[in-house]
Chains A and B, each alone.
Chain A
Amino acid sequence: MKTEILMPSLSPTMEEGSLAKWYVSPGDKVKPGDIIADIETDKALMEYESIEEGTIIELVVKEGTENIKVNALIAVIETEGADEINIRKVDDIKIIEPVSIDSNEEILSEEDKIDSVNTTLEDSKKLNNETTQNQVVNELTVREAINSAIAEEMRLDEDVFLMGEEVGEYQGAYKVSQGLLEEFGSERVIDTPITEHGFTGLAVGAAFTGIRPIVEFMTFNFAMQALDQIINSAAKTNYMSGGQINCPIVFRGPNGAAARVAAQHSQDFASLYASIPGLKVIQPFSAEDAKGLLKSAIRENNPVIFLENEILYGKSFPVNIDSEQIIPIGKAKTISTGQDVTIISYGIGMMHTLEADKKLKELGISAEIVDLRTIRPIDFDTIIESVKKTNRCVTVEESFPVCSVGSYIGSQIMIRAFDYLDAPVLNCTGKDVPMPYAENLEKAALITPDEIVFSVKQVLYKD
């Protein structure tokens, strides 16, 4: 009986990966527990074990192939007594070649024949073309953008250092700090014990003396243990000392819901930190903003909360700033101009907003989309100017609805632009519940593009 071996999902947010190495060849016998391949995700390189006993008869994906979707067919194994249902005929299987610049043309010709990896190959083609034509990679993932921002600033200023759990030898729990230990050494890329309250306080003390720590929280959920040091020590000391002792520090790491990690690991802390005077709060969406704003944050003389997102780490964006450029804190960005409604969002909310915008365009609704980027201080000039033009506003964020960023923006629009409003400001937020685990419940707890479309139609009084 022939059984399919599929691309495994190795982390909560993994969508695709690379087949780094095959340990088996057609004809080899394997049993459960045998390592058959190395799978590389954007987070780690992991060994993949067989769960079947039998003989490998086909390796569908060649060693070195990148961007293989989770659940794509990677090999076929002949097993005893396996169920034949849902098994493709070997004749229909096309070998997937590793993508390389040289094989560009070949891939194009193969493209239409291989349904299951269509998107993957298109992406690869796009990347390859850019690489070959421009000889400059101007497309970065958010992860690469953050990594390069840290590296560039560490090269510029030897007072900048990175500390956190697994940032060094492990290369970062989410691979953000990959390569930094090798370049900067263990005096500047510091693996800490699991001790958030302690290392946060320690980093704050170091910052009081004028050196510039970048503190990575493995996720911002764990920063809850360190909240006293962030709020009572980092944020307030400049004020309490009459301006004598400032705290140039960046707290960064993934924030918000990842995927299926439930209540204690899924929440957006933007509004919590944004309510604290003395802190600056950034939540970028694009790679360019992540890079430019993180560089600003590292140069900032005040504590900055820099909220990243695990789902966005692997997303690619064009990056048109070089190592000399920064993006200023406190400036929103109007992503697209429109006439009918202003949609204000930030972070992963922007992803849903852009998806919703496609549907709005189909409905003939012209939305002006503002990416806040900085949550404290909020760029109200941009917001108010836009609302005065469109007269309607919907806010989109992943956090809880009570005392959300959107609710504050709504109240400020009411105060500053009341006479311009043709409808109440609506807030699209996550639901007012701890994040559930079950897939359907989690989906229901998060904001969706459809909800954004619904809210936009409401403020436009459309059915």
Chain B
Amino acid sequence: MKNSSASKKELLELYQKMLLIRRFEEKAGQLYGMGHIGGFCHLYIGQEAVVVGIDSIKENGDQNITSYRDHGHMLACGMDPKMVMAELTGRFTGYSKGKGGSMHMFSKSEGFYGGHGIVGAQVPIGAGIAFANKYKKNSCVCFTYFGEGAANQGQVYEAFNMASLWKLPVVFVIENNQYAMGTSMVRASSTEEMFARGQAFNIPGKAVNGMNVLDVAKEAAQAADHCRAGKGPFILEMKTYRYRGHSMSDPAKYRTREEVQKVREEKDPIDMLRSVLIEKHKISEKQFKATDAEIKAIVTEASDFALNSPEPDIEELWTDVYAG
């Protein structure tokens, strides 16, 4: 899908994917509360339009890489919700055999390179995947996601410099959800224009309404075209918002309940697309209910699959330390 004149079918697919992420994340939150998911768990609720919009314009072989807030990215690029949930619950049937967890999941076949737990580390790695695309002379683009908090890490600019110098096919997607853990952007960043962070390196950038999946798709398509034309990297600042805490253990004292509620009511990406589907394509309440039920079934299946899967065999402790 490359423009806002998307067909009804395409819009419905976007809607289903966003809804899948939302329901999946709600279930993950629930399982966390029940003790089935351990450690850190960073939910993507509120930001669904970003990955779903970008994924809709990806071409075969394009890659993506992100930080630890990664469940949405995995579902968007077609990874199996059952295996994602199994990994979240530390089961052998998970993408990393239960050895990676929420923050470290990968699927080479779907072009998903993680899932990285160190803030900002995925940015030069993403540039490196793009470097490999250029080295292999293919036309793939690597979408490299990071937050506005990570945008203050030094290695981000080291990656910007090399990506621009060597004209690497990488779209840097800054998911600006306004809070780096508990620190709002204005308290951490000397400038608020994240899209302009590449100016010193001659990397063009654009701010996008990251709550509108159609805007996201349109701008991402243009950015990818820029890369595929051999013009080097592009920066997209996706203005978005996370409804939940930074992680499950976030006391959320840094913003008001009202602020969150206001975004949910006025800017929710799923509600926005729902309105479009109702107005332009006359989707009925009954059809939405059917979709809800389908998504709910997928998520329940994922949860059941995960909870009924075995933990990794104790021998797995010693495998995969080295590749053969």
- Chain A positions near chain B (C-beta within 8 angstroms): 161, 187, 192-193, 195, 197-211, 228-229, 232-233, 237-248, 277-278, 280, 301-302
Contact = CB atoms under 8 A, between A and B. Distances in A.
B247 interface: no
B1 interface: no
A65 to B, nearest CB: 43
Contacts, number: 147
Given A193-B165, A201-B155, A211 B135 contact: yes
Given A241-B100, A242-B97, A245-B108, A202 B159 contact: yes
B107 to A, nearest CB: 7
Nearest to B97: A242
B154 A197 contact: yes
Contacts of A232: 117-118, 121
B104 A241 contact: yes
Interface in B94-134: 94-100, 104-108, 113-118, 121, 123-133
B127 A205 contact: yes
A238 B94 CA distance: 15
B321 interface: yes
B266 interface: no
B123 to A, nearest CB: 7
7 contacts: A187-B135, A193-B162, A205-B128, A211-B135, A229-B155, A242-B95, A302-B323
A198 B323 contact: no
A280 B322 CA distance: 9
B130 to A, nearest CB: 8
B96 A229 contact: no
B161 interface: yes
Given A161-B135, A202-B124, A205-B113, A243 B158 contact: no
A294 to B, nearest CB: 18
B320 interface: yes
B124 A198 contact: yes
A242 to B, nearest CB: 4
A202 B118 contact: no
Nearest to B161: A193
Given A201-B123, A243-B320, A237 B162 contact: no
A208 B128 contact: yes
A278 B106 contact: no
A233 B125 contact: yes
Closest 10 CB pairs of A and B: A205-B128, A198-B158, A201-B124, A246-B323, A205-B125, A242-B97, A202-B128, A240-B104, A242-B96, A209-B132
Nearest to B140: A209
B249 interface: no
A278 B318 CA distance: 11
B323 A243 contact: yes
A209 B108 CA distance: 8
Contacts of B162: 192-193, 195, 198-199, 202
A55 B79 CA distance: 80
Q: Count chain A CB atoms within 10 A of each CB in B130, B155, B157, B162 and give the residue with the most.
A: B155
Q: Count chain A CB atoms within 10 A of each CB in B100, B104, B124, B133 and give the residue with the most.
A: B124
A237 B116 CA distance: 9
B82 to A, nearest CB: 15
Nearest to B101: A240
Contacts of B191: none
Nearest to A229: B121
B198 to A, nearest CB: 14
A187 B107 CA distance: 28
B319 interface: yes
Interface string B307-324: 000000000000111111
Given A203-B128, A244-B96, A237 B118 contact: no
A197 B96 contact: no
A93 B42 CA distance: 79
Nearest to A232: B118
Nearest to A280: B322
B136 interface: yes
Nearest to A302: B322
Given A239-B99, A246-B323, A198 B159 contact: yes
A396 B157 CA distance: 42
A201 B125 contact: yes
B312 to A, nearest CB: 9
B121 A228 contact: yes
A240 B124 contact: no
A299 to B, nearest CB: 12
B125 to A, nearest CB: 4
Given A205-B125, A208-B113, A233-B116, A241 B106 contact: yes
Given A201-B125, A201-B128, A208-B125, A277 B321 contact: yes
Contacts of A192: 162
B100 A242 contact: yes
Contacts of B322: 238, 278, 280, 301-302
Nearest to A239: B320
Nearest to A246: B323
